[in-house]
Amino acid sequence: MNTKATEPILPHHLSHIAAALADPTRAEMITVMMDGRAYSTTALSVHVNIAPSTASHHLAVLTSANLVESVRSGRHTYHRLAGPEVAVIVESLAVFGSRKPPEPRMSKRARLLRPGRTCYDHLAGQLGVALRRGLESRNWLRQIEDRYELSSDGERRLRELGVNWQAPALSRRCFARACLDWTERVPHIGGTLGAALFACFVERKWIANGPVPRQVELTPLGQEAWVAEWGLALPTNFDEALR
């Protein structure tokens, strides 16, 4: 997925990716994998209600387009997004495909995911946007074009709060991408910093998985820490959105 700046974008590259995502079943499989986890063929087939043999065919198409990769664990094979760049593509397409205000035509799935969800390995939805706005309001974070950077005070305070963005697994990525949010139409924090923030919340058990793929929820402990320890505000109408 990484393309050098000097390398031309060829039409057949775009058409190959577009064709892979054009099928509704493959698009649904991709959205399931947007939580950053690896799934077996059988698990994916259950999520999208198709036979495992059909799921294998769709996975082959997605893999040939470099959107999905396979990993082996013992005798088992699992499938996941080929990298965070794929999540950026999918989230951007979701925004582009639904430019009108979300409330009048928001699907049931979108309503479930809007309060909080994963965008690959970072926090998105109302929680993700509230986190970004909260850090900006405290002058810990500032936007520069399509990216964010931490202020010296923000860097110090986040380190004190236990956020580790220097983990080896995160070192090769963009530090803090302004990732346009699919449901909120404004950016949340992606990249290394977004992943580190989310990992910190999960480690402290402030966030738990919801009942549908990609959905996440603040635990009672997380709601308390979100306000008291981090000084962040819960999103407007957040309680109503969870109902």
Which domain range does residue 128 map to? 104-241
pLDDT, averaged across the chain: 84
Pair (208, 111) in one structural domain: yes
Pair (39, 114) in one structural domain: no
- Within-domain flag for 75: yes
Pair (195, 115) in one structural domain: yes
Name the residue among 31, 30, 51, 28 with its Cα closest to residue 41.
Answer: 51
Pair (234, 124) in one structural domain: yes
Instruction: Compute CA 240 distance to the chain's CA centroid, rounded to the nearest angstrom.
Output: 23
Quick check: 41 pLDDT over 90? yes
Q: What is the pTM of this model?
A: 0.68
Three-state SS for 203?
A: helix
Name the residue among 104, 242, 108, 110 with its Cα closest to residue 182.
Answer: 110
User: Mean pLDDT over residues 126-153, rounded?
Assistant: 93
Token pair belonging to 151: 């202020």
- Within-domain flag for 95: no
Pair (139, 26) in one structural domain: no
Task: For residues 105 and 128, give the distance between their C-alpha atoms in angstroms, rounded to a whole number.
Answer: 22
User: Mean pLDDT over residues 87-105, rounded?
Assistant: 67
Pair (130, 188) in one structural domain: yes
Residue pair 238/136 in contact (Cβ under 8 Å)? The answer is no
Quick one: pLDDT at residue 53? 92
Q: How many domains does the chain have?
A: 2
Question: Which residue's structure tokens are 């990732």?
Answer: 179
Pair (169, 220) in one structural domain: yes
Residue 27 sits at φ, ψ, to 5 deg, of -60, -40
Task: For residues 119 and 180, give the distance between their C-alpha atoms in angstroms, rounded to a whole number.
Answer: 10
* Percentage with pLDDT > 70 across the chain: 85
Pair (78, 114) in one structural domain: no
Radius of gyration of the chain (CA): 18
Enumerate residues 6+ apart whose C-beta is below 8 A from 130: 232, 233, 234, 235, 238
User: Mean pLDDT over residues 135-163, rounded?
Assistant: 92
Pair (226, 146) in one structural domain: yes
Domain boundary among 22, 47, 82: 82
